[in-house]
């Protein structure tokens, strides 16, 4: 067993906490080697750092979704729509959505930097926000885990997403098929109870009711298992070890 944790993440945790972790791991696995390399950081992502002061729209449109989809396809970047636009596509309806939410495998982060670096509006450790034709596109980078799963750490919550909920799903917007997460995952995004803002609760209830109407019994039952974990140090440590 090899656990890898980068030096900068240990420094961010603080020397005392890092040493406690190392001592604990050596105690439970005295004959194992723990290298100081790792792709699952043990600290929360920081707040988004604003990089671009150009104005942007607070509402995205169908044309924006089609444009970013075409741009990513042309650049060879795999992506999966989630959030409000995934729901709109599954329900064959439209409503006001402030941004366009995309999941992208972390290995394509450098490609996005190269192709769209000039459009980056803000960033955290594993997310970037693009000002794409004045629409906000929020890109979250997924880290692969064992057993065909992905992890995305949003700070206050951590999503573990099975491969079956990432690949093979599409929404149709204006006659165009666009890759998306599964309906079960969209429903989990709407119905999970972790850290919802009070001002957004009614919006989530309304959208959950829309999703409810198109869910099968299996999807509805399975969506609960997709709810995120709390963004705690111990949960990050568990994911890092069992990955």
pLDDT digits (tens, 9 = 90+) for 118-158: 899 888 878 999 999 999 999 999 999 988 999 998 888 99
In our burial notation (b when 16+ CB lie closer than 10 A, e otherwise), range 209-224 reads ebbeeebeeebeebbe
pLDDT digits (tens, 9 = 90+) for 71-90: 999 999 999 999 999 999 99
Asked if residue 171 has pLDDT above 90, the reply is yes
The model's pTM: 0.79
Q: How many Å apart are CA 34 and CA 2, to the nearest integer?
A: 5
Q: How many Å apart are CA 198 and CA 217, to the nearest integer?
A: 29
As a whole number, mean pLDDT of residues 219-233 equals 91
Check: CB of residue 40 under 8 Å from CB of residue 239.
yes
Classify 155 in phi/psi space as left (phi over 0), alpha (psi -120 to 50) or beta.
left
Q: How many Å apart are CA 187 and CA 225, to the nearest integer?
A: 11
| Better-scored residue on pLDDT, 54 or 95 | 95
């Amino acid at each position: 067993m090899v656990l890898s944790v980068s030096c900068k993440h240990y420094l961010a945790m603080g020397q005392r906490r890092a040493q406690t972790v190392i001592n604990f791991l050596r105690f439970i696995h005295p004959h194992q080697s723990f290298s100081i390399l790792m792709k699952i950081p043990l600290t929360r992502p920081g707040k988004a750092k604003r990089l671009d002061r150009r104005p942007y729209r607070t509402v995205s449109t169908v044309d924006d979704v089609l444009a970013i989809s075409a741009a990513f396809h042309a650049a060879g970047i795999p992506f999966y729509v989630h959030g409000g636009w995934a729901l709109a596509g599954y329900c064959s309806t439209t409503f006001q959505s402030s941004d366009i939410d995309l999941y992208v495998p972390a290995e394509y982060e450098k490609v996005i930097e190269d192709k769209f670096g000039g459009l980056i509006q803000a960033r955290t450790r594993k997310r970037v926000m693009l000002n794409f034709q004045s629409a906000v596109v929020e890109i979250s980078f997924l880290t692969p885990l064992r057993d065909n799963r992905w992890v995305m750490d949003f700070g206050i919550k951590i999503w573990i997403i099975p491969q079956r909920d990432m690949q093979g799903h599409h929404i149709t917007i204006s006659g165009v098929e666009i890759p998306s997460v599964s309906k079960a995952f969209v429903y989990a995004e709407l119905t999970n109870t972790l850290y919802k803002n009070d001002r957004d609760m009614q919006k989530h209830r309304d959208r959950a009711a829309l999703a409810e109407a198109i869910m099968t019994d299996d999807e509805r039952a399975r969506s609960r298992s997709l709810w995120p974990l709390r963004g705690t140090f111990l949960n990050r440590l568990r994911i890092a070890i069992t990955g």
